[in-house]
């Protein structure tokens, strides 16, 4: 008879064990989801097929999935960059908003350029504003030993309230008949489409390659990884920890800022408080599930976007309440995230 069960750290986590645990967690997720759907008197097979159809069942749905995937990819790359140095940037939401703000300044007030030049300047402005906003937490950590997790989280709310102030105050569109919105961008400040989707998806693919090269094949990328592994080793190797930290956090925020540019210029066509839409928080999960590997960011982001798009589809097609669709998403995430425990630990039974 088993009297005690405890977790024991694995001596070595090989790829086979990792894959096996992940597959078991996915099977468990679909099993639990099936039980939940049966309780709602819905055929699980219809729901699962509906989610696939909702995400990839037509060219329009594929385009919608792609639109959802792009901000997840780019923001996850930004989060990954900071996490590799063990700088816990939870401020993606605020950095996205500030990036969108930086792009909006040019789009709304300094747009006397041709379309290509204006869009390039908007992207640069978004990256700078997002990067500088992230640097607030880096400077506070370096010089005042603050906790970057709390600081970046709180900065999200400051950014949100700042954009809300603009939307209801000085940037409120006078032509909107009293409705609290910011004026739409001029046509030349809007990202062009390619294959029915704004060119943000091209930008996302390019950034995956660039971030991969930077993190794995440059001196600064190597220094970021060394600091993440051991700050004492970094000091012994003569690495300028303050300078590398500032660079890393700025790049992290800049990538999130580019997301703000794409969302404002390519999707919303203006600046609003809905620009981020929870992407900054979701990107944390994606970066974690991707094991901080750049190529996996693409795969996990697309699957995540498919989950969101598919869940929206079955809400209508199967008349599933929004709350139930959110529970289905949560069940999948819970099971997959829980699997990380079993890749590091194993159960040991004692009589």
Domain boundaries, the chain: 75-305
> Nearest-CA neighbor of 341 among 2, 25, 5?
25
Q: Are 73 and 264 in contact (CB under 8 A)?
A: no
Half-sphere exposure of 165 (CA within 13 A, CB side): 7
172-190 CB burial, b ≥16 within 10 A, e <16: ebeeeeeeebbbbbeeebb
In the structure encoding, which two tokens stand for residue 60, read together?
């329009």
Please give the residue that has the higher pLDDT: either 335 or 286. 286
Residues linked to residue 182 through DSSP beta bridges, in sequence order: 172
23-49 per-position pLDDT tens digit: 888 788 888 888 888 888 888 888 888
- Is the pLDDT score of 351 beyond 70? no
Q: Is the pLDDT score of 256 beyond 90?
A: yes
Residues 257-289 pLDDT 10s: 999 999 999 999 999 999 988 898 889 888 888
3-state helix, strand, coil in the chain (%, to 5): 75, 5, 20
CA 313 – CA 52 distance, rounded (Å): 9
CB 254 within 8 A of CB 128: yes
Q: What is the pLDDT of residue 217?
A: 93
How far is it, in rounded angstroms, from Cα 256 to Cα 39? 40
- Please count the CA atoms within 13 angstroms of the CA of 65 that sit on its side-chain side: 26
What confidence score (pLDDT) does residue 31 get?
Answer: 87
Rg (CA), the chain: 22
**What is residue 247's predicted lDDT score, i.e. its pLDDT?**
95
3-class DSSP assignment, residue 306: helix
CA distance 148 to 134: 10
Q: How far is CA 269 from the centre of its chain?
A: 20
**Enclosing H/E stretch for 4:** strand 4-9
pLDDT of residue 14: 67
Report the pLDDT averaged over residues 192-221.
Answer: 93
């Amino acid at each position: 008879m088993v009297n005690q069960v405890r977790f024991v750290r694995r001596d070595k986590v090989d790829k086979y064990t990792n894959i096996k645990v992940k597959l078991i967690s996915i099977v468990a997720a679909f099993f639990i989801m099936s039980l939940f759907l049966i309780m709602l008197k819905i055929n699980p097979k219809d729901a699962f097929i509906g989610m696939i159809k909702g995400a990839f069942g037509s060219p329009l749905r594929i385009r919608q999935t792609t639109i959802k995937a792009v901000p997840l990819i780019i923001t996850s790359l930004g989060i990954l960059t900071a996490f590799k140095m063990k700088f816990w940037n939870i401020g993606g939401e605020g950095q996205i908003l500030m990036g969108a703000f930086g792009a909006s300044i040019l789009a709304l007030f300094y747009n006397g350029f041709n379309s290509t030049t204006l869009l390039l300047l908007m992207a640069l402005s978004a990256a700078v504003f997002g990067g500088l906003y992230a640097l607030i937490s880096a400077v506070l950590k370096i010089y005042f030993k603050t906790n970057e997790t709390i600081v970046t989280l709180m900065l999200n709310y400051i950014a949100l309230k700042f954009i809300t102030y603009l939307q209801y105050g000085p940037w409120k569109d006078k032509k909107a008949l009293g409705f609290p919105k910011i004026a739409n961008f001029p046509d030349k400040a809007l990202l062009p489409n390619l294959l029915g989707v704004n060119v943000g998806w091209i930008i996302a693919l390019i950034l995956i390659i660039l971030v991969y090269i930077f993190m794995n094949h440059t001196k600064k990328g190597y220094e970021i990884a060394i600091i993440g592994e051991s700050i004492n080793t970094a000091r012994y190797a003569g690495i300028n920890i303050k300078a590398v930290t500032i660079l890393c956090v700025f790049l992290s925020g800049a990538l999130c800022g580019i997301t703000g540019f794409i969302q404002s210029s390519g999707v919303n066509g203006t600046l609003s408080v809905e620009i981020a839409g929870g992407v900054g928080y979701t990107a944390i999960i994606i970066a974690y599930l991707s094991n901080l590997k750049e190529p996996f960011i693409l795969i996990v982001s697309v699957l995540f976007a498919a989950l969101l798009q598919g869940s929206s589809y079955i809400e209508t097609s199967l008349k599933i309440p929004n709350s139930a669709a959110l529970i289905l998403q949560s069940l999948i995430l819970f099971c997959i995230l829980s699997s990380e425990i079993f890749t590091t630990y194993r159960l040991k039974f004692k009589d």
